[in-house]
Structure 1
Protein backbone atom coordinates (compact mmCIF):
# COMPACT_ATOMS: atom_id res chain seq x y z
CA UNK A 1 0.00 0.00 0.00
CA UNK A 2 2.82 2.35 0.98
CA UNK A 3 4.67 1.46 -2.23
CA UNK A 4 1.53 2.24 -4.23
CA UNK A 5 1.14 5.66 -2.58
CA UNK A 6 4.81 6.39 -3.10
CA UNK A 7 4.54 5.45 -6.76
CA UNK A 8 1.43 7.61 -7.20
CA UNK A 9 3.17 10.55 -5.55
CA UNK A 10 6.20 10.11 -7.78
CA UNK A 11 3.99 9.99 -10.87
CA UNK A 12 2.10 13.10 -9.76
CA UNK A 13 5.38 14.94 -9.17
CA UNK A 14 6.70 13.87 -12.56
CA UNK A 15 3.47 14.97 -14.25
CA UNK A 16 3.58 18.34 -12.50
CA UNK A 17 7.18 18.79 -13.54
CA UNK A 18 6.33 17.88 -17.13
CA UNK A 19 3.42 20.33 -17.23
CA UNK A 20 5.60 23.08 -15.81
CA UNK A 21 8.15 22.50 -18.57
CA UNK A 22 5.59 22.72 -21.39
CA UNK A 23 5.33 26.05 -23.21
CA UNK A 24 2.32 28.16 -22.25
CA UNK A 25 -0.02 28.66 -25.20
CA UNK A 26 -1.11 32.27 -25.36
CA UNK A 27 -4.79 33.04 -25.84
CA UNK A 28 -5.60 33.53 -29.50
CA UNK A 29 -6.99 37.03 -29.13
CA UNK A 30 -7.00 39.93 -31.56
CA UNK A 31 -8.53 39.80 -35.03
CA UNK A 32 -9.48 36.18 -35.83
CA UNK A 33 -7.40 34.55 -38.55
CA UNK A 34 -9.49 33.24 -41.44
CA UNK A 35 -8.58 30.97 -44.33
CA UNK A 36 -7.27 32.65 -47.43
CA UNK A 37 -9.34 32.40 -50.59
CA UNK A 38 -8.82 29.31 -52.74
CA UNK A 39 -9.16 31.58 -55.75
CA UNK A 40 -5.49 32.44 -55.28
CA UNK A 41 -4.72 29.21 -57.11
CA UNK A 42 -6.38 30.57 -60.24
CA UNK A 43 -4.11 33.61 -60.14
CA UNK A 44 -0.98 31.65 -61.05
CA UNK A 45 1.85 29.87 -59.29
CA UNK A 46 2.90 31.56 -56.05
CA UNK A 47 6.63 31.27 -56.77
CA UNK A 48 6.23 32.72 -60.25
CA UNK A 49 4.05 35.49 -58.87
CA UNK A 50 6.78 36.35 -56.34
CA UNK A 51 9.44 36.40 -59.04
CA UNK A 52 7.35 38.75 -61.17
CA UNK A 53 6.81 40.96 -58.15
CA UNK A 54 10.54 41.13 -57.45
CA UNK A 55 11.23 42.04 -61.06
CA UNK A 56 8.63 44.83 -61.00
CA UNK A 57 9.91 46.17 -57.68
CA UNK A 58 13.53 46.16 -58.87
CA UNK A 59 12.54 47.93 -62.10
CA UNK A 60 10.63 50.55 -60.13
CA UNK A 61 13.65 51.17 -57.89
CA UNK A 62 16.00 51.35 -60.88
CA UNK A 63 13.83 54.00 -62.52
CA UNK A 64 13.59 55.94 -59.25
CA UNK A 65 17.38 55.78 -58.83
CA UNK A 66 17.80 57.29 -62.30
CA UNK A 67 15.74 60.26 -61.09
CA UNK A 68 17.66 60.39 -57.79
CA UNK A 69 14.34 59.73 -56.05
CA UNK A 70 15.38 56.93 -53.67
CA UNK A 71 16.27 57.86 -50.10
CA UNK A 72 19.73 56.82 -48.91
CA UNK A 73 20.23 54.49 -45.97
CA UNK A 74 21.11 57.52 -43.80
CA UNK A 75 17.78 59.24 -44.43
CA UNK A 76 16.06 59.73 -41.01
CA UNK A 77 12.62 58.94 -42.40
CA UNK A 78 13.86 55.72 -44.01
CA UNK A 79 15.58 54.71 -40.77
CA UNK A 80 12.28 55.34 -39.02
CA UNK A 81 10.32 53.26 -41.53
CA UNK A 82 12.72 50.33 -41.26
CA UNK A 83 12.57 50.41 -37.47
CA UNK A 84 8.77 50.25 -37.56
CA UNK A 85 8.89 47.40 -40.07
CA UNK A 86 11.24 45.45 -37.82
CA UNK A 87 8.64 45.59 -35.07
CA UNK A 88 5.80 44.46 -37.33
CA UNK A 89 7.50 41.68 -39.28
CA UNK A 90 7.82 39.14 -36.40
CA UNK A 91 4.03 38.98 -36.17
CA UNK A 92 3.34 38.40 -39.86
CA UNK A 93 3.56 34.61 -39.67
CA UNK A 94 0.27 34.52 -37.77
CA UNK A 95 -1.39 35.58 -41.01
CA UNK A 96 0.86 33.81 -43.50
CA UNK A 97 3.50 31.30 -42.32
CA UNK A 98 5.40 31.69 -45.60
CA UNK A 99 6.36 35.24 -44.63
CA UNK A 100 9.05 33.80 -42.36
CA UNK A 101 11.08 33.15 -45.51
CA UNK A 102 10.40 36.43 -47.28
CA UNK A 103 13.27 38.75 -48.16
CA UNK A 104 11.80 41.85 -46.54
CA UNK A 105 12.80 45.19 -48.01
CA UNK A 106 11.82 48.79 -47.13
CA UNK A 107 12.53 51.81 -49.33
CA UNK A 108 11.49 55.45 -49.34
CA UNK A 109 10.76 57.32 -52.57
CA UNK A 110 11.21 61.08 -52.67
CA UNK A 111 7.85 61.99 -54.18
CA UNK A 112 4.93 64.15 -53.01
CA UNK A 113 2.53 61.27 -53.72
CA UNK A 114 0.40 60.27 -50.73
CA UNK A 115 0.81 56.51 -51.03
CA UNK A 116 2.64 53.37 -49.90
CA UNK A 117 2.58 49.72 -50.93
CA UNK A 118 3.91 46.26 -50.12
CA UNK A 119 4.39 43.87 -53.01
CA UNK A 120 4.25 40.06 -52.69
CA UNK A 121 7.30 38.75 -50.87
CA UNK A 122 7.54 41.66 -48.44
CA UNK A 123 8.84 44.47 -50.68
CA UNK A 124 7.69 47.72 -49.08
CA UNK A 125 7.87 51.24 -50.47
CA UNK A 126 6.65 54.53 -48.99
CA UNK A 127 6.33 57.84 -50.80
CA UNK A 128 7.61 60.79 -48.82
CA UNK A 129 4.34 62.64 -49.46
CA UNK A 130 2.31 60.42 -47.15
CA UNK A 131 4.68 61.09 -44.26
CA UNK A 132 4.91 64.84 -44.79
CA UNK A 133 1.42 65.79 -45.95
CA UNK A 134 -0.30 63.77 -43.22
CA UNK A 135 2.32 64.46 -40.51
CA UNK A 136 2.12 60.83 -39.39
CA UNK A 137 3.04 59.62 -35.93
CA UNK A 138 4.90 56.31 -35.62
CA UNK A 139 1.59 54.64 -34.70
CA UNK A 140 -0.04 56.01 -37.85
CA UNK A 141 2.89 54.92 -40.00
CA UNK A 142 2.46 51.45 -38.49
CA UNK A 143 -1.22 51.51 -39.51
CA UNK A 144 -0.31 52.35 -43.10
CA UNK A 145 2.50 49.80 -43.21
CA UNK A 146 0.46 47.10 -41.49
CA UNK A 147 -2.35 47.62 -43.99
CA UNK A 148 -0.01 47.34 -46.98
CA UNK A 149 1.80 44.33 -45.52
CA UNK A 150 -1.60 42.70 -45.00
CA UNK A 151 -2.29 42.82 -48.73
CA UNK A 152 0.89 40.83 -49.33
CA UNK A 153 0.27 38.42 -46.45
CA UNK A 154 -3.25 37.60 -47.59
CA UNK A 155 -2.04 37.34 -51.22
CA UNK A 156 -4.69 39.75 -52.42
CA UNK A 157 -2.92 40.39 -55.72
CA UNK A 158 -2.93 36.69 -56.65
CA UNK A 159 -6.48 36.32 -55.36
CA UNK A 160 -7.59 39.30 -57.43
CA UNK A 161 -6.00 37.75 -60.53
CA UNK A 162 -7.98 34.58 -59.89
CA UNK A 163 -11.20 36.51 -59.35
CA UNK A 164 -10.66 38.52 -62.50
CA UNK A 165 -10.15 35.32 -64.47
CA UNK A 166 -13.48 33.95 -63.22
CA UNK A 167 -15.47 37.16 -63.66
CA UNK A 168 -14.13 37.75 -67.16
CA UNK A 169 -15.08 34.23 -68.26
CA UNK A 170 -18.43 34.42 -66.49
CA UNK A 171 -19.14 37.84 -67.94
CA UNK A 172 -18.40 36.64 -71.49
CA UNK A 173 -20.80 33.73 -70.98
CA UNK A 174 -23.40 36.14 -69.62
CA UNK A 175 -22.96 38.35 -72.68
CA UNK A 176 -23.22 35.43 -75.09
CA UNK A 177 -26.38 34.08 -73.44
CA UNK A 178 -27.94 37.53 -73.42
CA UNK A 179 -27.18 38.03 -77.09
CA UNK A 180 -28.54 34.64 -78.11
CA UNK A 181 -31.61 34.51 -75.87
CA UNK A 182 -32.80 38.10 -76.11
CA UNK A 183 -31.62 38.74 -79.64
CA UNK A 184 -29.57 41.81 -78.74
CA UNK A 185 -26.52 43.01 -80.65
CA UNK A 186 -23.50 40.86 -79.52
CA UNK A 187 -21.47 44.04 -79.11
CA UNK A 188 -24.00 45.29 -76.57
CA UNK A 189 -23.79 41.96 -74.83
CA UNK A 190 -20.02 42.28 -74.63
CA UNK A 191 -20.35 45.79 -73.22
CA UNK A 192 -22.81 44.63 -70.57
CA UNK A 193 -20.53 41.72 -69.71
CA UNK A 194 -17.63 44.13 -69.28
CA UNK A 195 -19.69 46.27 -66.92
CA UNK A 196 -20.61 43.21 -64.85
CA UNK A 197 -16.97 42.12 -64.62
CA UNK A 198 -15.81 45.61 -63.66
CA UNK A 199 -18.45 45.92 -60.94
CA UNK A 200 -17.48 42.54 -59.48
CA UNK A 201 -13.80 43.45 -59.50
CA UNK A 202 -14.49 46.71 -57.67
CA UNK A 203 -16.46 44.85 -55.04
CA UNK A 204 -13.70 42.30 -54.55
CA UNK A 205 -11.16 45.08 -54.13
CA UNK A 206 -13.24 46.77 -51.45
CA UNK A 207 -13.41 43.47 -49.57
CA UNK A 208 -9.63 43.14 -49.76
CA UNK A 209 -9.14 46.67 -48.49
CA UNK A 210 -11.44 46.04 -45.54
CA UNK A 211 -9.60 42.84 -44.64
CA UNK A 212 -6.25 44.61 -44.91
CA UNK A 213 -7.45 47.29 -42.51
CA UNK A 214 -8.25 44.72 -39.83
CA UNK A 215 -5.14 42.59 -40.37
CA UNK A 216 -3.08 45.79 -40.22
CA UNK A 217 -4.70 46.73 -36.92
CA UNK A 218 -3.82 43.31 -35.51
CA UNK A 219 -0.18 43.46 -36.66
CA UNK A 220 0.31 46.96 -35.29
CA UNK A 221 -1.30 46.17 -31.93
CA UNK A 222 0.90 43.10 -31.43
CA UNK A 223 3.96 45.22 -32.20
CA UNK A 224 2.95 47.75 -29.53
CA UNK A 225 1.49 50.43 -31.79
CA UNK A 226 -1.79 52.03 -30.75
CA UNK A 227 -4.56 50.70 -33.05
CA UNK A 228 -6.61 53.85 -32.40
CA UNK A 229 -4.13 55.52 -34.73
CA UNK A 230 -5.99 53.85 -37.60
CA UNK A 231 -9.01 56.03 -36.92
CA UNK A 232 -6.87 59.17 -36.66
CA UNK A 233 -5.16 58.24 -39.93
CA UNK A 234 -8.41 58.07 -41.89
CA UNK A 235 -9.67 61.25 -40.31
CA UNK A 236 -6.55 62.93 -41.66
CA UNK A 237 -7.04 61.27 -45.04
CA UNK A 238 -10.57 62.63 -45.17
CA UNK A 239 -9.43 66.13 -44.30
CA UNK A 240 -6.74 66.12 -46.99
CA UNK A 241 -8.68 64.36 -49.73
CA UNK A 242 -11.92 66.31 -49.95
CA UNK A 243 -12.56 65.11 -53.50
CA UNK A 244 -12.63 61.40 -52.70
CA UNK A 245 -14.74 59.35 -55.21
CA UNK A 246 -18.07 57.89 -54.13
CA UNK A 247 -17.56 54.54 -52.31
CA UNK A 248 -19.77 52.67 -54.81
CA UNK A 249 -17.49 53.63 -57.69
CA UNK A 250 -14.23 53.31 -55.80
CA UNK A 251 -11.98 50.30 -55.27
CA UNK A 252 -11.55 51.51 -51.68
CA UNK A 253 -14.20 51.79 -48.98
CA UNK A 254 -15.01 55.34 -47.94
CA UNK A 255 -13.04 56.83 -45.08
CA UNK A 256 -16.12 56.90 -42.85
CA UNK A 257 -16.83 53.21 -43.57
CA UNK A 258 -13.24 52.30 -42.72
CA UNK A 259 -13.42 54.22 -39.46
CA UNK A 260 -16.72 52.52 -38.60
CA UNK A 261 -15.30 49.03 -39.24
CA UNK A 262 -12.13 49.74 -37.26
CA UNK A 263 -14.15 51.13 -34.36
CA UNK A 264 -16.34 47.99 -34.30
CA UNK A 265 -13.24 45.79 -33.95
CA UNK A 266 -11.27 48.00 -31.57
CA UNK A 267 -12.35 45.92 -28.57
CA UNK A 268 -10.44 42.97 -30.08
CA UNK A 269 -7.11 44.75 -30.59
CA UNK A 270 -6.88 47.18 -27.68
CA UNK A 271 -6.20 44.38 -25.14
CA UNK A 272 -3.48 43.04 -27.47
CA UNK A 273 -1.89 46.50 -27.65
CA UNK A 274 -2.16 46.93 -23.88
CA UNK A 275 -0.45 43.59 -23.28
CA UNK A 276 2.36 44.46 -25.71
CA UNK A 277 2.97 47.73 -23.87
CA UNK A 278 2.40 46.41 -20.36
CA UNK A 279 -0.60 48.72 -19.85
CA UNK A 280 -3.97 48.30 -18.17
CA UNK A 281 -6.47 47.70 -21.01
CA UNK A 282 -9.21 49.34 -18.94
CA UNK A 283 -7.19 52.46 -18.26
CA UNK A 284 -5.40 53.35 -21.50
CA UNK A 285 -4.25 56.95 -21.99
CA UNK A 286 -5.98 58.76 -24.88
CA UNK A 287 -4.36 58.52 -28.28
CA UNK A 288 -2.67 61.73 -29.39
CA UNK A 289 -2.18 62.43 -33.07
CA UNK A 290 -0.30 65.30 -34.73
CA UNK A 291 -1.98 68.21 -36.46
CA UNK A 292 -1.94 68.38 -40.23
CA UNK A 293 0.64 70.77 -41.67
CA UNK A 294 -0.70 74.22 -42.49
CA UNK A 295 -1.20 74.63 -46.21
Structure 2
Protein backbone atom coordinates (compact mmCIF):
# COMPACT_ATOMS: atom_id res chain seq x y z
CA UNK A 1 0.00 0.00 0.00
CA UNK A 2 3.00 2.31 -0.20
CA UNK A 3 6.72 2.63 -0.73
CA UNK A 4 8.85 0.64 1.74
CA UNK A 5 11.04 2.79 3.99
CA UNK A 6 9.11 5.98 3.38
CA UNK A 7 6.71 7.45 5.91
CA UNK A 8 3.17 7.38 4.65
CA UNK A 9 0.30 9.46 5.93
CA UNK A 10 -3.15 8.94 7.41
CA UNK A 11 -5.83 11.55 7.96
CA UNK A 12 -8.46 10.71 10.59
CA UNK A 13 -11.70 12.41 9.56
CA UNK A 14 -14.40 13.43 12.03
CA UNK A 15 -17.63 15.05 10.88
CA UNK A 16 -19.40 16.91 13.67
CA UNK A 17 -22.68 18.69 14.35
CA UNK A 18 -23.28 20.26 17.77
CA UNK A 19 -21.87 17.35 19.74
CA UNK A 20 -19.80 18.03 22.88
CA UNK A 21 -18.85 14.33 22.75
CA UNK A 22 -16.40 15.38 20.03
CA UNK A 23 -13.96 16.21 22.84
CA UNK A 24 -13.93 12.57 23.97
CA UNK A 25 -13.44 11.43 20.37
CA UNK A 26 -10.36 13.63 19.94
CA UNK A 27 -8.95 12.62 23.32
CA UNK A 28 -9.28 8.94 22.41
CA UNK A 29 -7.46 9.57 19.13
CA UNK A 30 -4.61 11.31 20.95
CA UNK A 31 -4.31 8.37 23.37
CA UNK A 32 -4.08 5.66 20.66
CA UNK A 33 -1.12 3.46 19.85
CA UNK A 34 -0.18 5.07 16.55
CA UNK A 35 0.85 2.76 13.70
CA UNK A 36 4.58 3.05 13.01
CA UNK A 37 5.79 4.48 9.73
CA UNK A 38 2.86 6.88 9.33
CA UNK A 39 2.36 10.59 9.83
CA UNK A 40 -1.05 11.08 11.46
CA UNK A 41 -3.32 14.09 11.02
CA UNK A 42 -6.90 14.82 12.03
CA UNK A 43 -9.53 16.64 9.98
CA UNK A 44 -12.66 17.94 11.70
CA UNK A 45 -15.50 19.07 9.42
CA UNK A 46 -18.12 21.15 11.26
CA UNK A 47 -21.54 20.73 9.60
CA UNK A 48 -23.34 23.37 11.69
CA UNK A 49 -24.64 26.62 10.16
CA UNK A 50 -22.07 28.59 12.17
CA UNK A 51 -18.56 27.34 13.07
CA UNK A 52 -19.65 26.35 16.57
CA UNK A 53 -17.00 23.62 17.05
CA UNK A 54 -14.02 25.78 16.11
CA UNK A 55 -13.13 26.93 19.64
CA UNK A 56 -13.35 23.42 21.08
CA UNK A 57 -11.24 21.93 18.28
CA UNK A 58 -8.61 24.68 18.53
CA UNK A 59 -8.29 24.28 22.31
CA UNK A 60 -8.07 20.49 22.18
CA UNK A 61 -5.59 20.45 19.31
CA UNK A 62 -3.25 22.58 21.41
CA UNK A 63 -3.87 20.62 24.62
CA UNK A 64 -3.51 17.17 23.02
CA UNK A 65 -0.72 18.16 20.62
CA UNK A 66 -2.70 16.83 17.66
CA UNK A 67 -2.18 18.03 14.10
CA UNK A 68 -5.77 19.07 13.48
CA UNK A 69 -7.22 20.74 10.39
CA UNK A 70 -10.59 22.40 11.03
CA UNK A 71 -13.06 22.93 8.19
CA UNK A 72 -16.39 24.70 8.47
CA UNK A 73 -18.61 22.72 6.09
CA UNK A 74 -22.17 24.05 6.43
CA UNK A 75 -24.91 23.26 6.58
CA UNK A 76 -26.84 20.31 7.96
CA UNK A 77 -25.99 17.94 5.14
CA UNK A 78 -23.61 15.23 6.27
CA UNK A 79 -22.34 14.58 2.74
CA UNK A 80 -21.01 18.16 2.60
CA UNK A 81 -18.95 17.45 5.73
CA UNK A 82 -17.75 14.05 4.53
CA UNK A 83 -16.70 15.53 1.19
CA UNK A 84 -14.95 18.41 2.95
CA UNK A 85 -12.80 15.84 4.77
CA UNK A 86 -11.90 14.11 1.51
CA UNK A 87 -11.18 17.43 -0.20
CA UNK A 88 -8.94 18.60 2.66
CA UNK A 89 -6.86 15.41 2.74
CA UNK A 90 -3.73 14.69 0.75
CA UNK A 91 -2.92 11.55 2.79
CA UNK A 92 -2.36 8.06 1.47
CA UNK A 93 -5.08 6.70 3.76
CA UNK A 94 -8.20 8.31 5.19
CA UNK A 95 -10.01 6.97 8.26
CA UNK A 96 -13.49 8.00 9.40
CA UNK A 97 -14.82 7.90 12.96
CA UNK A 98 -18.04 9.52 14.24
CA UNK A 99 -18.10 12.44 16.66
CA UNK A 100 -19.96 10.40 19.32
CA UNK A 101 -17.50 7.50 19.29
CA UNK A 102 -14.24 6.82 21.08
CA UNK A 103 -11.37 4.87 19.55
CA UNK A 104 -9.85 1.86 21.30
CA UNK A 105 -6.10 2.01 21.81
CA UNK A 106 -5.40 -0.25 18.83
CA UNK A 107 -8.14 1.07 16.55
CA UNK A 108 -6.08 2.67 13.81
CA UNK A 109 -3.17 0.22 14.09
CA UNK A 110 -5.54 -2.72 13.56
CA UNK A 111 -7.20 -1.07 10.56
CA UNK A 112 -3.78 -0.44 9.00
CA UNK A 113 -2.59 -3.99 9.72
CA UNK A 114 -5.65 -5.47 8.00
CA UNK A 115 -5.25 -3.10 5.06
CA UNK A 116 -1.61 -4.17 4.67
CA UNK A 117 -2.30 -7.91 4.80
CA UNK A 118 -5.53 -7.92 2.75
CA UNK A 119 -4.73 -5.32 0.12
CA UNK A 120 -8.36 -4.16 0.38
CA UNK A 121 -9.39 -0.66 -0.67
CA UNK A 122 -11.59 -0.21 2.41
CA UNK A 123 -11.31 -1.80 5.86
CA UNK A 124 -14.26 -1.73 8.26
CA UNK A 125 -14.11 -2.14 12.02
CA UNK A 126 -16.85 -2.88 14.55
CA UNK A 127 -18.76 -0.27 16.56
CA UNK A 128 -19.65 -1.52 20.04
CA UNK A 129 -22.74 0.06 21.58
CA UNK A 130 -22.98 0.83 25.29
CA UNK A 131 -26.46 1.21 26.78
CA UNK A 132 -27.59 3.28 29.71
CA UNK A 133 -29.42 1.72 32.64
CA UNK A 134 -32.71 3.13 31.34
CA UNK A 135 -32.50 1.30 27.99
CA UNK A 136 -35.09 -1.48 27.54
CA UNK A 137 -33.92 -4.89 28.67
CA UNK A 138 -34.66 -6.48 25.27
CA UNK A 139 -32.55 -3.85 23.55
CA UNK A 140 -29.52 -4.43 25.74
CA UNK A 141 -29.83 -8.21 25.48
CA UNK A 142 -30.21 -8.11 21.70
CA UNK A 143 -27.54 -5.41 21.16
CA UNK A 144 -29.53 -3.64 18.45
CA UNK A 145 -27.21 -0.65 18.05
CA UNK A 146 -23.76 -2.15 17.52
CA UNK A 147 -22.50 -1.97 13.93
CA UNK A 148 -20.92 -4.80 11.95
CA UNK A 149 -20.53 -5.36 8.20
CA UNK A 150 -23.07 -7.42 6.27
CA UNK A 151 -21.60 -10.43 4.48
CA UNK A 152 -23.23 -11.71 1.29
CA UNK A 153 -21.87 -15.01 -0.01
CA UNK A 154 -18.51 -14.41 1.64
CA UNK A 155 -18.14 -10.78 0.52
CA UNK A 156 -18.81 -7.35 2.02
CA UNK A 157 -20.64 -5.40 -0.67
CA UNK A 158 -21.22 -2.10 1.06
CA UNK A 159 -19.96 -0.28 4.14
CA UNK A 160 -20.28 2.55 6.62
CA UNK A 161 -18.25 5.57 7.70
CA UNK A 162 -18.50 5.24 11.48
CA UNK A 163 -15.35 3.05 11.46
CA UNK A 164 -13.43 2.69 8.21
CA UNK A 165 -10.03 3.14 6.58
CA UNK A 166 -9.80 4.02 2.87
CA UNK A 167 -6.88 3.63 0.45
CA UNK A 168 -7.43 6.81 -1.55
CA UNK A 169 -5.03 6.02 -4.39
CA UNK A 170 -7.15 3.12 -5.65
CA UNK A 171 -8.92 3.70 -8.96
CA UNK A 172 -12.28 2.74 -7.44
CA UNK A 173 -12.04 5.79 -5.12
CA UNK A 174 -10.48 8.26 -7.51
CA UNK A 175 -12.64 11.39 -7.47
CA UNK A 176 -15.43 9.60 -5.59
CA UNK A 177 -17.55 11.70 -3.26
CA UNK A 178 -20.65 11.26 -1.10
CA UNK A 179 -24.06 12.00 -2.61
CA UNK A 180 -25.41 15.41 -1.61
CA UNK A 181 -28.91 14.17 -2.41
CA UNK A 182 -28.63 11.64 0.44
CA UNK A 183 -26.98 14.03 2.87
CA UNK A 184 -30.18 14.60 4.85
CA UNK A 185 -31.84 11.23 4.40
CA UNK A 186 -28.88 8.99 5.19
CA UNK A 187 -27.61 6.19 3.01
CA UNK A 188 -24.87 8.33 1.50
CA UNK A 189 -22.18 5.95 2.74
CA UNK A 190 -24.14 2.88 1.63
CA UNK A 191 -24.22 4.32 -1.89
CA UNK A 192 -20.57 5.41 -1.73
CA UNK A 193 -19.32 1.90 -0.90
CA UNK A 194 -21.83 0.19 -3.20
CA UNK A 195 -20.46 2.20 -6.15
CA UNK A 196 -16.88 1.66 -4.99
CA UNK A 197 -17.38 -2.13 -5.00
CA UNK A 198 -19.03 -1.95 -8.44
CA UNK A 199 -15.89 -0.15 -9.64
CA UNK A 200 -13.68 -3.00 -8.40
CA UNK A 201 -12.82 -1.94 -4.85
CA UNK A 202 -12.75 -4.66 -2.22
CA UNK A 203 -13.82 -4.32 1.43
CA UNK A 204 -12.18 -6.18 4.34
CA UNK A 205 -13.08 -6.42 8.01
CA UNK A 206 -10.78 -5.88 11.00
CA UNK A 207 -12.56 -7.33 14.07
CA UNK A 208 -10.09 -5.88 16.59
CA UNK A 209 -10.30 -2.31 15.22
CA UNK A 210 -13.04 -1.39 17.69
CA UNK A 211 -14.64 1.94 18.44
CA UNK A 212 -17.16 2.46 21.23
CA UNK A 213 -20.40 4.42 21.25
CA UNK A 214 -22.73 5.36 24.10
CA UNK A 215 -26.36 5.09 22.96
CA UNK A 216 -28.25 8.21 24.07
CA UNK A 217 -31.77 7.98 25.44
CA UNK A 218 -33.25 9.47 22.25
CA UNK A 219 -32.01 6.49 20.26
CA UNK A 220 -32.82 3.78 22.79
CA UNK A 221 -36.38 3.36 21.52
CA UNK A 222 -38.14 0.97 19.20
CA UNK A 223 -39.41 3.93 17.12
CA UNK A 224 -35.88 5.17 16.44
CA UNK A 225 -34.75 1.70 15.42
CA UNK A 226 -37.82 1.30 13.20
CA UNK A 227 -37.19 4.58 11.35
CA UNK A 228 -33.55 3.66 10.88
CA UNK A 229 -34.31 0.17 9.55
CA UNK A 230 -36.96 1.57 7.21
CA UNK A 231 -34.49 4.08 5.78
CA UNK A 232 -31.85 1.34 5.40
CA UNK A 233 -34.38 -0.55 3.33
CA UNK A 234 -35.29 2.50 1.27
CA UNK A 235 -31.66 3.09 0.33
CA UNK A 236 -31.16 -0.56 -0.61
CA UNK A 237 -34.39 -0.49 -2.63
CA UNK A 238 -33.36 2.63 -4.52
CA UNK A 239 -29.98 1.11 -5.38
CA UNK A 240 -31.62 -2.13 -6.55
CA UNK A 241 -34.29 -0.24 -8.47
CA UNK A 242 -31.73 1.88 -10.31
CA UNK A 243 -30.66 -1.27 -12.18
CA UNK A 244 -34.09 -2.84 -12.65
CA UNK A 245 -37.25 -2.15 -14.62
CA UNK A 246 -40.33 -3.93 -15.87
CA UNK A 247 -40.53 -7.60 -14.95
CA UNK A 248 -37.24 -7.56 -13.05
CA UNK A 249 -38.46 -4.69 -10.88
CA UNK A 250 -41.77 -6.48 -10.23
CA UNK A 251 -39.86 -9.58 -9.14
CA UNK A 252 -37.74 -7.52 -6.75
CA UNK A 253 -40.87 -5.91 -5.25
CA UNK A 254 -42.51 -9.30 -4.85
CA UNK A 255 -39.44 -10.80 -3.22
CA UNK A 256 -39.07 -7.92 -0.73
CA UNK A 257 -42.80 -8.08 0.06
CA UNK A 258 -42.57 -11.82 0.72
CA UNK A 259 -39.58 -11.30 3.00
CA UNK A 260 -41.46 -8.62 4.94
CA UNK A 261 -44.47 -10.91 5.35
CA UNK A 262 -42.23 -13.76 6.53
CA UNK A 263 -40.54 -11.53 9.12
CA UNK A 264 -43.86 -10.27 10.52
CA UNK A 265 -45.16 -13.85 10.69
CA UNK A 266 -41.99 -14.87 12.52
CA UNK A 267 -42.60 -12.07 15.01
CA UNK A 268 -46.00 -13.57 15.85
CA UNK A 269 -44.49 -17.03 16.34
CA UNK A 270 -41.72 -15.66 18.59
CA UNK A 271 -43.93 -13.18 20.48
CA UNK A 272 -42.95 -14.62 23.86
CA UNK A 273 -39.31 -13.59 23.27
CA UNK A 274 -39.03 -9.76 23.09
CA UNK A 275 -35.55 -9.92 21.53
CA UNK A 276 -36.52 -12.34 18.74
CA UNK A 277 -39.91 -10.71 18.20
CA UNK A 278 -38.53 -7.19 17.88
CA UNK A 279 -35.65 -8.35 15.70
CA UNK A 280 -38.16 -9.95 13.31
CA UNK A 281 -40.42 -6.88 13.29
CA UNK A 282 -37.49 -4.55 12.60
CA UNK A 283 -36.28 -6.78 9.79
CA UNK A 284 -39.80 -6.76 8.35
CA UNK A 285 -39.84 -2.95 8.54
CA UNK A 286 -36.53 -2.91 6.64
CA UNK A 287 -38.02 -5.02 3.84
CA UNK A 288 -41.05 -2.71 3.69
CA UNK A 289 -38.51 0.08 3.22
CA UNK A 290 -36.95 -1.91 0.35
CA UNK A 291 -40.36 -2.07 -1.34
CA UNK A 292 -40.76 1.67 -0.78
CA UNK A 293 -37.38 2.36 -2.37
CA UNK A 294 -38.01 0.03 -5.29
CA UNK A 295 -41.22 1.83 -6.24
CA UNK A 296 -39.53 5.22 -5.96
CA UNK A 297 -40.90 6.64 -2.70
CA UNK A 298 -38.68 9.49 -1.51
CA UNK A 299 -36.42 8.60 1.41
CA UNK A 300 -37.33 9.96 4.82
CA UNK A 301 -35.27 12.87 6.12
CA UNK A 302 -33.15 11.93 9.14
CA UNK A 303 -30.52 14.66 9.36
CA UNK A 304 -30.31 18.43 9.31
CA UNK A 305 -32.73 18.63 12.23
CA UNK A 306 -32.34 20.84 15.28
CA UNK A 307 -30.62 18.09 17.27
CA UNK A 308 -28.27 15.41 15.92
CA UNK A 309 -29.98 12.90 18.17
CA UNK A 310 -33.37 13.54 16.56
CA UNK A 311 -32.11 12.36 13.24
CA UNK A 312 -29.96 9.64 14.67
CA UNK A 313 -26.58 8.26 13.85
CA UNK A 314 -24.95 9.59 10.74
CA UNK A 315 -23.98 6.32 9.25
CA UNK A 316 -25.09 3.94 6.53
TM-score (norm 2): 0.26
Q: Give the number of the structure whose residues are more often helix, by fraction.
A: 1
TM-score, scaled relative to structure 1:
0.27
Q: Relative to total residues, which structure has the larger strand share, 1 or 2?
A: 2
Indicate the structure (1 or 2) with the bigger Cα radius of gyration.
1
